[in-house]
Amino acid sequence: MDASLNGKVAVVTGAGSGIGKAAAIMLAEKGVQVGLFDMDASAVEKTAAEIKTAGGAAIAAKVDVADSMQLQQAYMQVLKKFGQLDIVFANAGINGTLSPIEHLPEEDWDKTLGTNAKGTFLTVKFAIPYMKSNGGSIIITSSINGNRTFSGFGMSAYSASKAAETAFGKMAALELSAYRIRVNVICPGGIETNIEKRTKKDEEHLAEVTIPKIFPKGQHPLKGEPGKPEDVASIVCFLASDASGHMSGSVLYADGAETLL
């Protein structure tokens, strides 16, 4: 158990599955009390149940991070239950619709940017009043897409939202430094999650813009396969702890050297 994390309180968005779930469980194992936010009520309750069964402390809330009212109410539940807020992992996000720009519906662009970019903004915005007295750590999940790679054909909205999250994280790091709130960004590469199941693909038109990519020996050099959610969760724990106490405004890539090809 990390002594610098024991007794802290964290909020994790997108905690019902994938990276968010893995991070919530790992933080709880280190003594952190966790508030779990996710749009899938059943999934986030299961995460909370796993943590409680293992002896940890958790509270779950059904939250759409693009909805100000839902977010504010969920934060108040966490503060009522645990009395403080030290760590925020702004992780919730969607791939949205994969489509060429020409054919991408305006409402699909708005939904992706709304969930990813606006959702991250709101998650940070509503956390600040609870963190500014004692400081803390905010961690944002961005992506290699929009930062190091731009070959996710049909992902213009997703890549734009992830580039926005990275820039926002750097702006927030400087602005919130006066409150001793650190803000860092993680850019995962290929990670085994279920986000693809909720991804809509315009297969008919994607073929029009796709450029063939050929990689030597596959696209995951370090391990030969995509990363696990726990690979990112361990970075979240590091950024939440005192071990990264002098880091703010940093962007960490968790891609197994994928983007160096």
Active-site positions read 158
Q: CA quadruple 17, 18, 23, 29: dihedral positive or negative?
A: positive
Angle at 24 between CA 20 and CA 28, to 5 degrees: 170
Cα–Cα nearest to 81, from 65, 55, 61: 61
Report the alpha-carbon distance of residue 252 to residue 123 in Å, rounded.
20
**Are residues 60 and 34 in contact, defined by beta-carbon separation less than 8 angstroms?**
no
CA distances from 68 to 8, 152, 242 (A): 25, 30, 30
Report the alpha-carbon distance of residue 188 to residue 8 in Å, rounded.
25
Report the alpha-carbon distance of residue 162 to residue 152 in Å, rounded.
12
CA distances from 200 to 55, 95, 104, 252 (A): 38, 8, 11, 28
What is the number of helices (H) and of strands (E) in the chain?
Answer: 9, 9
